[in-house]
Amino acid sequence: MADAPELIRARPVPRPTLWVWAAVVLVLAAMLVNSLLTNPNYRWDVVGQYLFDPRVVAGVGWTLLLTLGAMVIGIVLAVASAVMRMGTNPVLRAVSTVYIWFFRGTPVYTQLVFWGLLSVLYPRLSLGIPFGPEFFVFTTADVVNATVAALLGLGLNEGAYLSEIVRSGLNAVDDGQWEAASALGMRRSTTLWRIIVPQAMRVIVPPTGNETISMLKTTSLVLAVPFTLELTFVTNAIGNQNFLPIPLLIVAAIYYLVITSVLMVGQHYLEAYYGRGFDGNDSATASTRGMSRKQQAILAARTTHADPYLDVTP
Amino acid sequence: MTDTTAKIQIDGVHKFFGELHVLKGVDLHVEQGEVAVLLGPSGSGKSTLLRCVNGLEEFNAGRIRVDGELVGLREVTRRDGSVELHRRTDADIARQRSRIGMVFQRFNLFPHQTALGNVMEAPRKVHRLSRGEAERRARELLERVGLADRAHHYPAQLSGGQQQRVAIARALAMEPELMLFDEPTSALDPELVGEVLSVMKDLAASGMTMVVVTHEVGFAREVADQVVFMDDGLVVEAGAPDQVIGDPRNPRTREFFAKVL
């Protein structure tokens, strides 16, 4: 047996700047904490008083509901429009392109105002034969109430953004996979769902998680509809009533931070499962901990190439 | 139809990629049970021709028939007796392809499915076999290519040679009447080439009609019934391996084999 080698025990390179920065940050942090505790205008007593106010808690519920609902609508629209855009039918391709162009090209705020005003534009809606007889007639304001308008506005906008994510995911899968499947006599739709989508998921799912986190905060814009039950509107309204806007902004911020933190933990596990770094890059050297055997196999086969320049989030 | 006995009948096929004229009028007949090996320099159009046979590429002129049936096209007789060409529907092209097995240079296995899953996929989704029946046949085929013990491995856990054998089993699972091989050993480490060629030899011995694009001249000499030498988009010389490889008549063929052998 050979002698054990003498291991290298070298001193690391000294890094004095580390201590300089630590000192600077420490002083700034101490100043911030000091002001948070001593500045009476923060009114922490009011924060505590309203943190669990029933109106605020209900607002959190509505915010979560809007986030979830809008994401569901968005994902359905995104998959449909991405598949249409990649398909062979030029009419459907054009429809999808125009949808994405319009909803990415106008601000969410504008779209939300528009959905709120739909009942002014079309006071009644009807089901029937185009240009012919009508079978059912609705008053628009009954059907498209504030909740529906908010969900439609957020969902349609999100669908346009997610569509590009889905499309880039589907395009990331190697052409050889399409060829192999079609050489076996598989139809386009079968190939898409059985072969392409399972491999595209690792490109599609992590940014969709990011979009969910972003949607949570975008729901605060639904006051444009106007939808008045979600967290930002409720806390603002209370703050304006008692002339104490700052503590109520803090209440809202605390809730957003808590929910985002929970979502970010979920996002971390999603990315670990699909073997993606937080920066969205593929990395062969990344740890495969937390990845399923199947996802490791897809990663190792290198048949999907993520686009690191994919642009997301409005 | 001039010759209905040929399994594959290629007549005057031209293919353009934009300005590039890749196939310049290729004629080739492959009989039932025959093994045809296409040899020739890179860029001579061998792979493109192979891909035209199962409709992965559309060609611009000429006709390809498999079992007498036009590939990708359909002749429709009009009321005045004239014949018009129609493109086949996607479903019809899929039906034609399902009878033709194809093996790719880069294997193109489905990475999210195990070896067994890869072999079962098309029989289940195209032929609508039950899971049990598809699995039984898939295991038989994996046995046949010597990979029974790798059924539950993902492609990434297999060597290149093993992956290519799974790909052959996957193509055979559709019970094709004809197998196309597009440089099946070109992406393999030299030491893994043998195991794939040996599976292909067994397949040829079982009477499968095969068209093989390869650079393995030894394989062509040993297994081929017909060797086809292509250069610059044309069939330069075709015939028995001893003649085309051993005693080529065309100077271009002679030059090629002088360099390769």
Which positions ≥6 away from A70 have C-beta within 8 Å? A151, A154, A155, A158, A215, A219
B45 within some domain: yes
**8 Å CB contact of B174 and A180:** no
* A189 located within any domain: no
A314 pLDDT higher than 80: no
Domain assignment of residue B161, yes or no: no
Q: Does a structural domain hold residue B141?
A: no
CB contact under 8 A, B122 and A184: yes
Which of A174, A188, A195 is facing B90, going by the closest CB pair? A188
A185, part of any domain:
no
The ipTM estimated for the assembled molecules is 0.92
* Per-residue pLDDT, A297: 81
Residue A74 belongs to domain with CATH number: 1.10.3720.10
Give the one of A176, A183, A301 whose C-beta lies nearest to B54's C-beta.
Answer: A183
Residue B72, amino acid? G
- Region A68-94: what's the mean pLDDT? 94
Is the Cβ pair B126, A194 closer than 8 Å?
A: no
Instruction: Report the gap between the CA of A299 and the closest CA in chain B (Å).
Output: 8
Question: Number of A:B CB contacts under 8 A?
Answer: 88
Contact state of A301 with B126 under an 8 Å Cβ cutoff = no
A81 CB within 8 Å of a chain B CB: no
Domain count across chain B: 1
* Domain range enclosing A91: 66-128+135-173+196-295
Residue position matching structure tokens 């957020």: A154
The CATH code of the domain that includes B104 is 3.40.50.300
Res. A283 pLDDT band, cuts 50 70 90: very low
Domain that holds residue B42: 8-108+178-260
- Predicted TM-score of the model (pTM): 0.83
Q: What is the Cα–Cα distance from A272 to A286, expressed in whole angstroms?
A: 9
Q: How far is A179 from chain B (nearest CA, A)?
A: 7
Q: How do residues A152-173 score in pLDDT, each as one tens digit?
A: 999 999 999 999 999 999 999 9
**Residue in this structure with the two tokens 């990475």, named with its chain if needed:** B111
Query: Around Cβ A102, how many Cβ atoms within 10 Å?
Result: 13
A245 occurs within a structural domain: yes
- Residue range A1-59, pLDDT digits in tens: 568 899 999 998 988 899 999 999 999 999 999 999 999 999 999 999 999 999 999 99
Q: How many CB atoms lie within 10 A of CB A212?
A: 20
Residue A272 lies in a domain: yes
Q: Examine residue B156 and state whether it is found in any structural domain, yes or no.
A: no
Cβ separation of A185 and B126 shorter than 8 Å? yes
Tell me if B81 is assigned to some domain: yes
Q: Which helix (H) or strand (E) holds B122?
A: helix B115-125
Residues of B at the A interface (Cβ-Cβ below 8 Å)? 54, 56, 90-91, 94-95, 97-102, 104, 106, 108-112, 121-122, 125-126, 154-157, 167, 170-171, 174
Domain count for chain A:
1
B246, part of any domain: yes
- Note whether residue B164 is domain-resident: no
Report the pLDDT value the prediction gives residue A127, as an integer from 0 to 100. 83
Would B234 be classed as within a structural domain?
yes
